[in-house]
Chain A
Amino acid sequence: MVFNAWPFFVFLPVVFVLFWTIPQRLRTPLLAAASLWFYSSWDWRFLPLLLFSCVVDWAAGIGIEDAKTTRMRRVWIGVSLVTQLGMLAVFKYLDFGIESAARMLNALGFEVHWETLGIILPVGISFYTFQSLSYTLDVYRGSLRATRSLLRFTAFVAFFPQLVAGPIERASHLLDQFATPRTFDMALAKDGLRQMLWGLFLKTVIADQCAGAVDRAMAHPETTDGWQLLAGTWLFAFQIYGDFAGYSHIAIGCARLFGFELMRNFANPYFASSPVEFWRRWHISLSTWFRDYVYIPLGGNRSGPVRRRVNVFLTFLLSGIWHGAGAQFAVWGAFHGAFVALAPERKPDAGSSRPVLAAIRVLVMFQIVCVGWIFFRARGLGDAVATLHGIGRALAAPDLAGIRAAFLDEPRHVWALFAGIAVVCAIEWAQRAEPHPFRTLARRPTAVRWVIYLATALAVVVLGRMQSVPFIYFQF
């Protein structure tokens, strides 16, 4: 069940009405049951895996808290880490490992014919394992009390709005919300609906429409004109933003209908003017997860500037590997790691007194991010190198016909995509102080609000893509 398909538009109102109809004590069980049902609608065979993950970390949390000795606490955190990371290793990386090892041995002259196991990646496993791990790690650190309620813990890990693609919540933020009686907050729920509408627009109109043009431009990088590759790369930057930020907006808005607050996941990342700032704005829940549970335990910035840079690099490398089993993801992580590690630390608002300089910085930063997206989007390193090579060739010898064909390609409406992106950027810039662009509509007259809601919904109907385009982050 995906957020932009009709089953969800039946599921959500039913759960919403039931949730606010039943007594408080039944609400967490309802959310847990609804979430498990939501997850099983993807593939019921992976439901036991999710439940197993919940039970192990719930027990580990209690085990850590009740342990009388440091050794027992370590044993329990070890159980949690081995279980969650083990699940990730088996389901996400085992086939890749087998394939890579066989390729390497063959390259060294050994003749091996190892078959991969054909393991299917359970949807959302990277997200819920990390969310669950954050709980046991916080309990281990002593910054969080363990919950005794398995039901509440299951509801926290499996909470359907953010189960399959985040935001990756912290127990300290979300788990307690399940323990607190929920009272209906009209303003919060309305704002949630507005945020969902914006997310749906980003996904169906921007991301999905860009997807077709990106697929065409990037399918054969060796033989495609460099300007088309450049246009495809820029469009992919907005495809992945519309896709993932759209999903996050829908998730956060959906949780608000039930009175829950999820953390912000995107804060206008393409307005960042430095690598550090970009990562404060992009996939915030993952960036802060790696900061808190990898970078800081590695030593953070406590051991001098050189060690800090090494720690930053390693953290980003791991973040890249988290995204997928493939060398291109590791390179993507390393690429960003190198930039963040080497970039001078600047305050986010530095340069704001000189808007032209700030705009140039933002544009340069966007191009750096796009170079990273080339690796992220590529099927392998070969494709990424071919794309970079093609773009480099085009930039070295600019040709007007090529530029026109790539950016004003009339039959494919590439120009219309860029126009739509410009509109989205203008809206997000105008509303950059808000967590989502539709928040300030609450202060507008009713007629203005409804016209904007209607226009946005009509845009989804008129311009939304009809073919199925899966959410990109569901594959991670």
Chain B
Amino acid sequence: MDDRPTTLEHPLRLSARVAAFLALLAAATFGLDAGLWALRDRGVRLLPEAPPSEVDLLYAGEGRVLYLGDSVVGWIPADEPGAASLGGLVAETSPRPVALAASAGRGPHYVAAQLDLLLARGIRPACVVVPVNLQSFGPTWERNPRVQAEDLRRAFTSGTWLPTRALFVLKVEFGQTSFDEWLQTPVVVAGRVRGNVRSMEHDESLPAEVLGGRRLVARYAADLGVSRWLPLLSAAVERVAAAGIPVVVYITPVHPGHPSHAVDPADRAAISANLDILAARFSLPGVTFRNFGRGLSHEDFDSSLAQPNGHLRLDARRRLAASIAEAIRAAVQVTR
């Protein structure tokens, strides 16, 4: 057998051509991306998914009250057909037209990316409303790989859509937490490990009131010191306020627990301490801040015994909407 190495001329020439093609492809991708964004800034959309439809929600906020957040904003209980969501009620009472850009499962990292995109694309709402849901900073949500919306977040943060999309088409995912890893995440309350996500959030074999009690603790009492999303969101809020856009930040009502949940007083104290941490973090210059975290009864919430969360019933939504509208009014007046 011929043992001499083959000349490298041809393989290297082919490699060089492939490299040139990839460079051209990258240039075309970035160029096309810039073109799509420029057209989008002028209100033109060419492709259904580029940029994504969720960008439209932000553009709709130009000159309006842009209401961000998660399912707490859009929730309508199954037994209240025809009733308005919290977002809809705020829209009815707000001093300015409201554009809703809230989506279920979207965490604070996503809201932070939305805020950054507003600044990057020069979209100027009359006011931005940022609900702060304590539950979303705990391990049950912040580490949950199923609610990361990582593609959108990266696209919004980087301001590029197609290059980000290309990475996801080719499955470039670094440091993603797997579902099993997430289940192993410890739940730390007042410096003490109380269990992990599997035992505190996902053990469906437990009776509803026991599981509900555990979930309440895991969702609302877990230490905020390890949260990555909290500094991310507060910094983004600060940037938007510094840009002269009126911002309303409010802490969403926290479920106080059903009587049968039998929550330990120490855990209640941890929840209260967490609300204070949030209040301190978002009492920022140029931000109209409200703390609605305390004060509602379990009957104000539309949640089953096993699923304590921030979804509200109509009366509570009405009361909260009136307070949010008042905060919007205050924020807009302050800026004037």
Contact = CB atoms under 8 A, between A and B. Distances in A.
Interface stretch (B25-33, B76-84, B222-230, B287-295): B25-33
Contacts of B170: 4-6, 9
Nearest to B170: A6
A184 B169 contact: no
Contact of A462 (B2, B3, B5, B165): B165
A164 interface: no
Given A5-B171, A6-B172, A186-B10, A181 B18 contact: no
Interface stretch (A284-292, A428-436, A464-472): A464-472
B21 interface: yes
Given A461-B166, A466-B169, A24 B28 contact: no
Contacts of A20: 6, 8, 11
Contact of B2 (A181, A457, A464, A468): A181
B151 A466 contact: yes
A146 B28 CA distance: 52
B221 interface: no
B14 A186 contact: yes
A91 interface: no
Given A458-B28, A462-B50, A24 B21 contact: no
A22 B5 contact: yes
A16 B7 CA distance: 14
A220 B294 CA distance: 43
Given A454-B24, A466-B169, A24 B2 contact: yes
B171 A462 contact: no
Given A23-B4, A181-B2, A413-B48, A461 B169 contact: yes
Contact of A458 (B7, B15, B32): B32
A183 interface: yes
B6 A466 contact: no
Interface residues of B, number: 34
A289 to B, nearest CB: 31
A183 B9 CA distance: 12
Contact of B47 (A204, A462, A466): A462
| Residues of A in contact with B, size category | 35 or more
Nearest to A5: B171
B129 interface: no
A21 B8 contact: yes
Contacts of B32: 458, 462
Interface in A443-476: 450, 453-454, 457-458, 460-462, 464-466, 468
Interface in A384-416: 413, 416
Given A458-B25, A458-B29, A458-B32, A465 B5 contact: no
A17 interface: yes
Nearest to A461: B166
Question: Which of B4, B8, B151, B166 lies at the interface centre, i.e. has the most chain A CB atoms within 10 A of its CB?
Answer: B166
A25 interface: yes
A434 to B, nearest CB: 21
Interface in B52-71: none
A464 B151 CA distance: 14
B280 interface: no
Contacts of B167: 6
A17 B1 contact: no
B13 to A, nearest CB: 8
Given A183-B6, A458-B28, A468 B166 contact: no
Greatest chain B CB density within 10 A among A2, A25, A465, A466 is at A466
A462 B4 contact: no
Contact of B21 (A6, A189, A453): A453
A193 interface: yes
A13 interface: yes
A17 B14 CA distance: 10
Nearest to A410: B48
Nearest to A13: B15
B15 A17 contact: yes
Contacts of B179: none
A307 interface: no
B6 A184 contact: yes
B52 to A, nearest CB: 10
A145 interface: no
A439 interface: no
Q: Which of A9, A20, A454 has the most CB of B within 10 A?
A: A20
Contacts of B18: 13, 193
B245 interface: no
Contact of A24 (B3, B48, B172): B3
A323 interface: no
A462 B162 contact: yes
Interface in A70-90: none
B165 A461 contact: yes
A190 B162 contact: no
Nearest to A7: B171
Interface in A16-42: 16-17, 20-25
A186 to B, nearest CB: 5
Contacts of A6: 167, 170-172
Contacts of B28: 454, 458
A181 B1 contact: yes
A210 to B, nearest CB: 15
Interface in A147-204: 181-184, 186, 189-190, 193, 204
B133 to A, nearest CB: 26
21 contacts: A5-B170, A6-B172, A9-B170, A13-B15, A16-B15, A17-B12, A23-B5, A24-B1, A24-B5, A25-B1, A184-B7, A186-B14, A189-B10, A454-B24, A457-B21, A461-B165, A462-B162, A462-B165, A466-B151, A466-B168, A466-B169
- Name the 9 nearest CB pairs between A and B, nearest first: A464-B169, A466-B168, A5-B171, A20-B11, A461-B166, A184-B10, A6-B172, A6-B170, A186-B10
Interface of A: 2, 4-6, 9, 13, 16-17, 20-25, 181-184, 186, 189-190, 193, 204, 413, 416, 450, 453-454, 457-458, 460-462, 464-466, 468
Given A21-B8, A24-B2, 14 more contacts: A5-B170, A20-B6, A21-B11, A181-B1, A181-B2, A184-B7, A184-B11, A189-B10, A189-B14, A454-B21, A457-B21, A457-B25, A464-B169, A466-B151
